[in-house]
Chain A
């Protein structure tokens, strides 16, 4: 499995890049996830607004709602939840697509033509995810922060100046970078696991459509677990 990632990265840095497939995957992983990210980001922020307000107001420090929501989203919830959403939406589809190509010998056909399957199937996904995940995470964060303001500010009466002002005071560039590194590495994890499971569907899971469905399930579970484990490691290393 490690070798798979090494090869994928290797063929990513060695041209030529299959640009059309790359664009197609950017559209698929990125563009088509935007609505989902908007929804989940918005509601996550709103929940944080409620919970944060009630917890903080117990200590009389509801002025710190802005920093609390902002930091929680930017450092943890944004990257992790966005990555989990993309795993469910795009990762599963990637595994199924590649798995079906494996079962129906389309990957053999590529190889037989002397064409490198990694170049056509893995690299476009990898690059697309590395670009899209940070962007989707940024959308998630921004929408979430406004969602938090909607509840904390409009509904529960924290002033806009307090909410955003305190947030600007407490959220530092380092926090934003932490979120960025996390989302970037989550993108790699998703594509690595999901492509790998699809590519070797049949060998570990048995042949036929059942093999593809098993591979898809395994890919989503493994990728989600790895995201959370890796998140823990990154958090403990970056602090």
Chain B
């Protein structure tokens, strides 16, 4: 479904990717781990076509995302949902308007149909009752839920999650992971979850890939990762309890 081939990318001299290759099957969920600043968000943005690679290809469902333009790019993106790190809700709109926005702007559904659809999606993520609050008035966990509702409202086949739990307390973080899991079982999307908190997602993903020094350093099932002998992987996964503390961060880069 998603195929990344030999990807290279650098930002004025800073080589972020030096040949990334990764494949994700239809319906599969992959956890993408790695230290903060190693390019996880950048990789997701390449998959979504928001950034262009210098070398290599990103193929989504047989079509090259990096070459797509105009209408074909829009068509590809219509099948894609993205949960941004900070939620990226539009500040000027309330929760309801945020979730309704993609439907209003892109479909010809009647207002009534949109309303039913949005309320249904908000109920799925547990946000009934907060429809008319603004992003600045709700907690971080609620922002993530609202953003998830907005990403899911177009019935995407592919979902990209950028650090869905970072910055949340453990209980809320766990609730978000459960929510992602239940959405996956309901909608069967293909997914990539970027995360620092390995222990939380290992239960719900099929495979794990670790980015390190611009390449996919290790790849395998969660249990293969847990029993890995590689020192880089061990440092990350080994004692995931303290690993969280050591690799926390990523919040400072973006607001």
Contact = CB atoms under 8 A, between A and B. Distances in A.
A109 B91 contact: no
A104 B78 CA distance: 21
10 contacts: A100-B91, A103-B254, A105-B86, A105-B88, A108-B45, A108-B48, A109-B84, A111-B50, A112-B80, A114-B74
Nearest to B70: A114
Contact of A208 (B73, B78, B254): B254
A129 B51 CA distance: 31
Given A105-B88, A108-B84, A114 B253 contact: no
Interface residues of A, number: 16
A106 B90 contact: yes
A188 B37 CA distance: 38
Nearest to B51: A108
Nearest to B12: A203
Nearest to B87: A104
Nearest to B77: A114
Contact of A113 (B86, B87, B102, B253): B102
A119 to B, nearest CB: 10
Contacts of B73: 114
B169 interface: no
Interface in B61-99: 73-74, 77-78, 80, 82, 84-91
Interface of B: 45, 48, 50, 73-74, 77-78, 80, 82, 84-91, 101-102, 105-106, 252-255
B84 A105 contact: yes
Given A108-B48, A207-B254, A208-B253, 18 more contacts: A100-B91, A100-B255, A101-B90, A105-B84, A105-B88, A106-B91, A109-B82, A109-B84, A109-B88, A111-B50, A112-B50, A112-B80, A113-B77, A113-B101, A113-B102, A114-B77, A114-B106, A209-B255
Contacts of B255: 100, 103-104, 208-209
Contacts of B252: 208
B254 A104 contact: yes
Nearest to A104: B86
Of listed A111, A112, A207, residue having the most chain B CB within 10 A: A112
A7 to B, nearest CB: 14
Contact of A104 (B45, B80, B88): B88
Interface in A106-163: 106, 108-109, 111-115
Contacts of B84: 104-105, 108-109
B88 A113 contact: no
B248 to A, nearest CB: 17
A42 B253 CA distance: 46
Given A100-B91, A114-B77, A115-B106, A108 B254 contact: no
Nearest to B73: A114
Contacts of A100: 91, 255
